[in-house]
């Protein structure tokens, strides 16, 4: 993968692992060169619980993507999720020694680094430190303080925290699969990149990504991430309920859910029946679609109510008024029939299904526009953005013979434009190297 314009997103989910290779076309859209998909065998509720099986699934997905694209994959951008992810809000400040000098990137970096030193619970580590708004000498609601004068720089932060061991296991799987870890990003943030417009983020929107093992929530307002949460159940618990309620095997339950399932029981008539073949010559089972949708409805209501509780906790009872753009549903669970209407009924908020097709080139495979691929498209976008930054750094370096000093200064300045989280990813890669 020598071409700097090509990136790879790798979505390690509970039900599937997807690798997507792509590049940017002349119009700024993503041209998908190839995708690979494998059944995820070693992941439970977004967390790796079998290293060997996860490595095999990653290799299978990557091999398939390599064959489809004709590109050799060696570096991937990976998403993390799982029930171990939590977020908190924190305010911090620094006192600047010289208030006659304007605030620059160094000051913001110093403040963010200070937040990284917060003491977390045992076994936890800070993943993202996302500034929300700043205060300079008491003057509030400043989005970008760079270029301003002031002695005291304060900020409100959205801090995302995860379990060190869980993150380390993901990194170990990537490395053991013969890949380099390009970057790590929180999956709901990747999904948000793929399916939300800037206008929605400004107006206020809640993104609900219903995956196989977890349901992720990301709330944006005024263009800034305000709240993230991971709820520890998703589409798999619906399948499990169908399996138990109808006394059938998991494969049949999944097929029933996707082909005939509905989140709204009133839709089906009592005489609508589906027949399921019996095992090893046993009598076939007859299941009414009304009963099926009742089972699905009960579990979907539980998931949506949990998510709505998180939305209300973010902004109490006023959150509905604050989030003008309402709710955007994505992920595999968003494909369930009538789920949009059910979410609107429970929350009273405008709801739409989020498709990642807005960022894909017009000649892309229509299948890639499915909400299932929202996270991996977002991760691919992240990888392409990284590549652009790297190219800019190289272009900023002049070609004079005595460039050593100039080069180091420009590189240093450009490096500071990288987010702290990217530096955290570098630190994490070093940590993996030293752990061997």
Number of domains in the chain: 2
The answer as to whether 127 is a domain residue is yes
End-to-end Cα separation, the chain, in angstroms: 26
Which tokens in the block code for residue 21? 């290779």
Could you tell me which residues are beta bridge partners of residue 43? 48
pLDDT over 70 percentage in the chain? 87
SS3 label, residue 93:
strand
Domain check: are 220 and 323 in the same one? Answer: yes
Last-in-domain residue among 338, 354, 370:
354
Cβ-in-10-Å burial (0-12, 13-18, 19+) of 219 comes to: buried
Do 207 and 286 lie in a common domain? yes
d(Cα 302, Cα 313) in Å, to the nearest integer?
17
378-409 per-position pLDDT tens digit: 999 999 988 887 777 666 665 555 545 544 44
* Residue at 16 is within a domain: no
- Pick from 354, 381, 413: which residue ends a domain? 354
Residue with tokens 């989020």: 354
Token pair recorded at residue 332: 């595999």
Residues 151, 210 share a domain: no
Q: Which of 354, 388, 407 is the last residue of a domain?
A: 354
> In angstroms, what CA-CA distances link 199 with 195, 205, 219, 258, 413?
12, 10, 14, 32, 31
- Whether the CB-CB separation of 37 and 14 falls below 8 Å is answered with no
Whether 215 is covered by a domain: the verdict is yes
**Measuring CA to CA, which residue among 124, 81, 87 is closest to residue 234?**
81
Q: How far apart are CA 20 and CA 174, in angstroms?
A: 15
User: What domain range is 333 assigned to?
Assistant: 198-354
Which pair of tokens denotes residue 226? 């305000």
Q: Is residue 322 part of a domain?
A: yes
Which two tokens mark 27? 């119009």
Q: What is the pLDDT of residues 21-48, one digit of tens each?
A: 999 888 888 999 999 999 998 888 888 9
Any domain includes 125: yes
The domain that contains 157 carries what CATH number? 3.30.1490.110
Identify each DSSP E strand in 59-172 by its residue range.
Answer: 75-80, 86-95, 124-136, 139-142, 152-163
CATH label of the domain that carries residue 322: 3.30.420.40
Same domain, 216 and 281: yes
Tell me whether residue 253 is in a domain. Answer: yes
Each residue's pLDDT expressed in tens, for the chain with a length of 436 residues: 545 688 999 999 888 999 999 998 888 889 999 999 999 988 888 889 999 999 999 999 999 999 999 999 989 999 888 878 888 889 999 999 988 899 999 999 999 999 998 988 899 988 888 898 999 999 988 888 999 999 999 999 999 998 889 888 999 999 999 999 888 888 999 999 999 999 999 999 999 999 988 899 999 988 888 888 888 888 999 999 999 988 888 889 999 999 998 998 877 777 788 888 877 778 888 888 888 999 999 999 999 999 999 888 876 445 555 889 999 999 999 999 999 999 999 999 999 999 998 888 888 888 889 999 999 999 999 999 888 877 776 666 655 555 455 444 444 544 444 444 455 566 566 656 655 5
Q: How many residues would you count in the chain?
A: 436
Tell me, yes or no, whether 333 and 205 share the same domain. Answer: yes
Q: Examine residue 359 and state whether it is found in any structural domain, yes or no.
A: no
Q: What's the CA gap between 136 and 134, in Å, rounded?
A: 7
Q: Any residues with CB less than 8 A from the CB of 248 and at least 6 apart, and which?
A: 242, 256, 276, 285, 287
Same domain, 161 and 225: no
């Amino acid at each position: 993968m020598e071409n700097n314009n090509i990136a790879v997103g790798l979505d390690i989910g509970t039900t599937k692992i997807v690798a997507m290779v792509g590049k940017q076309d002349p119009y700024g859209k993503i041209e998908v060169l190839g995708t690979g998909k494998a059944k995820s065998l070693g992941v439970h509720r977004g967390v790796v619980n079998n290293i060997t099986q996860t490595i095999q699934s990653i290799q299978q997905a990557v091999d398939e993507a390599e064959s489809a694209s004709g590109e050799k994959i060696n570096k991937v951008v990976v998403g993390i999720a799982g029930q171990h992810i939590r977020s908190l809000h924190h305010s911090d400040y620094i006192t600047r020694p010289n208030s006659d000098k304007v605030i620059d990137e160094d000051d913001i970096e110093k403040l963010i680094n200070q937040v990284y030193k917060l003491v977390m619970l045992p076994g936890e580590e800070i993943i993202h430190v996302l500034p929300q708004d700043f205060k300079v000498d008491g003057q509030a609601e400043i989005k970008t303080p760079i270029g301003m004068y002031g002695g005291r720089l304060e900020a409100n932060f959205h801090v995302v925290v995860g379990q060190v061991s869980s993150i380390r296991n993901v990194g170990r799987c990537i490395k053991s699969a013969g890949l380099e870890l390009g970057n790590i990003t929180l999956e709901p943030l990747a999904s948000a990149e793929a399916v939300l417009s800037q206008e929605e983020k400004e107006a206020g929107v809640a993104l609900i990504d219903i995956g196989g093992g977890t349901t992720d929530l990301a709330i944006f307002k005024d263009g800034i991430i305000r709240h993230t949460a991971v709820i520890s159940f998703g589409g798999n618990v619906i399948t499990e309920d169908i399996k138990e309620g109808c006394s059938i095997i998991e494969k049949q339950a999944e097929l029933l859910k996707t082909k005939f399932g509905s989140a709204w029981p009133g839709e089906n008539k009592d005489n609508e029946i589906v027949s399921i073949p019996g095992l090893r010559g046993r009598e076939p089972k007859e299941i009414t679609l009304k009963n099926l949708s009742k089972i699905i409805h009960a579990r979907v209501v539980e998931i949506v109510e949990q998510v709505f509780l998180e939305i209300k906790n973010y902004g109490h009872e006023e959150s509905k008024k604050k989030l003008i753009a309402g709710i955007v549903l994505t992920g595999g669970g968003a494909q369930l029939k009538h789920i949009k209407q059910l979410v609107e009924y429970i929350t009273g908020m405008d709801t739409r299904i989020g498709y990642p097709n807005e960022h894909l080139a017009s000649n892309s495979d229509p299948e890639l526009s499915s909400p299932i691929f929202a996270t991996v498209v977002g991760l691919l976008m992240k990888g392409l953005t990284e590549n652009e930054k790297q190219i800019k750094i190289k272009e900023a370096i002049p070609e004079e013979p005595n460039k050593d000093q100039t080069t180091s200064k420009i590189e240093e300045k450009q490096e500071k434009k990288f987010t702290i989280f990217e530096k955290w990813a570098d630190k994490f890669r070093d940590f993996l190297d030293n752990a061997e």
